[in-house]
Amino acid sequence: MQAIRRTDTKPEIRLRSALHRDGYRFRKDFSIHTSSRRVRPDIVFTARKLAIFVDGCFWHCCPEHGRQPSVNTGYWSPKLQRNVERDRLADVALRADGWTVIRLWEHESTEYAVAVIKEALALT
C-alpha cells in the first residue's frame, strides 16, 4: 500500500500539464477547510472556488472500469465503499461552502477533461 500514490498520478500530471500549457494557473493538492471537514482536491482554482478531482477507476469504483477484487474481499469491499462515501461527503461539504466540484475519471481523455474545466471556469 505504501507504493500507491496519493498525488501526482499519471492522469493528474497529464491534466495539469495540459491546463498549464493553455495558460491556466492553479494549486495542486491544496487543502480546503470547509465548515464540516478538510478536503484535498487534486486541482484547485481558489479564486473561482473550483475543485477538481481525478478519480482512479479501481479506487473510486468506476461504473465502467471499476471491479471488485476476488481475493480478500472482506478487506477490499468495505475499503472501496468507504472511498466512495468519503468522495460524496467531500462533494457535499464543498458545495455547501460555495465551491463547484468536478469529478473526472482517470480513463477520460485529457482533451475532454480540459474542455469540462474550461467550461466550468467560463461559468464561474
| Domain spans in the chain, listed from the N-terminal domain onward | 10-123
CATH code for residues 10-123: 3.40.960.10
**pLDDT of res. 124:** 76
**pLDDT of res. 115:** 98
Q: Are 100 and 124 in contact (CB under 8 A)?
A: yes
Which segments of 32-107 does DSSP mark as H helices, in order? 73-96
pLDDT tens for each residue of 32-53: 999 999 999 999 999 999 999 9
**pLDDT of res. 81:** 94
What's the predicted TM-score (pTM) here? 0.91
Cell for 124? 464561474
**pLDDT of res. 117:** 97
d(CA 31, CA 106) in angstroms, rounded, equals: 21
